[in-house]
Amino acid sequence: MAGIRLTTSHDSLALGVSADPGSVSALSLTGGLTVAPVEGRTISFGRNRPEVDICVGENDLRVSRRHGLLTRQDGQWWVSNTGQLPLRLPSSRWLSSSEDPVPLPDGYTPLFVRSSPRREHLLELYVAGVDGIRPPTRHEAVTQPPRRWRLTEEERLLMVVLGQRYLLHEAQPQPVARQQAAEILDELQPDAGWGVKRVEHMVAAVRKRLSDGGVFGLRREEVGEPVGNTLNDNLLRELVLSTTIVPPDLMLLDRLS
């Protein structure tokens, strides 16, 4: 497959890609490709590393050896399922092998192969728009990148646990409950002393830091009653929209597999 290889250390595609208009980039934990928009070109992905362009879930026997295809057709990139398990697209859109291919929009699309309730394999996709994403000339206004917030390693793990439904691009996601989050964290780090109170205090500290930094909707007086999950929902949406946490961060939960 002709194209530009992306290494395993490549940044998440959620942060953007510099590529020619119409090009598609695809990235998994094993690396990826950026491919020009040549009509009829295909990119295969699945478990069998020697026979696919991008390897996904190579140690998971539930993932098909050739699980799907990206195809350039009619001036657009399409994704199709050739495997046994369905593919999950944003907003909980499922794509099975019996369905027609679906077009990929410009920009970022995370695609998941779910092999069990606790295990999903991510394939990041990015289609460059008509203008591509190129460094601006000196005569143009510079587009400012999103403000990414500082998180400690423990805070990042906690936010990924709380916000995993947001990172999975589920429809109408909600934060994981504090008790469940504490149980997941204790399973991931049994010697770290995780508990509900520690989860509450750490979340409150992150909310305060972002609120002090100018993010609205992280204080009770800003959202009104009843508060419910609103404060944490606003927190997680800010972290996702600012690309402070991105779908590849879900690999922090791999030890739960």
Residue in 112, 109, 107 with CA at minimum distance from that of residue 127: 107
Q: What distance, in Å, lies between the first and last C-alpha atoms of the chain?
A: 32
pLDDT at 222: 85
pLDDT at 211: 92
Distance CA 47, CA 53 (A): 10
pLDDT at 47: 94
Which residues does the chain have with pLDDT short of 70? 1-2, 117, 131-146, 255-257
Strands 76-81 and 31-35: unpaired
Distance CA 186, CA 194 (A): 5
Distance CA 257, CA 242 (A): 28
Distance CA 171, CA 188 (A): 26
Q: Coil, helix or strand for 50?
A: helix
Distance CA 59, CA 255 (A): 14
pTM for the structure as a whole: 0.70
pLDDT at 13: 94
Cis peptide before 226 (omega within 30 of 0): yes
Residue in 71, 156, 67 with CA at minimum distance from that of residue 114: 67
pLDDT at 139: 47
What are the angstrom distances between the C-alpha of 197 and each of 46, 113, 200, 253? 42, 34, 5, 21
Distance CA 108, CA 125 (A): 6
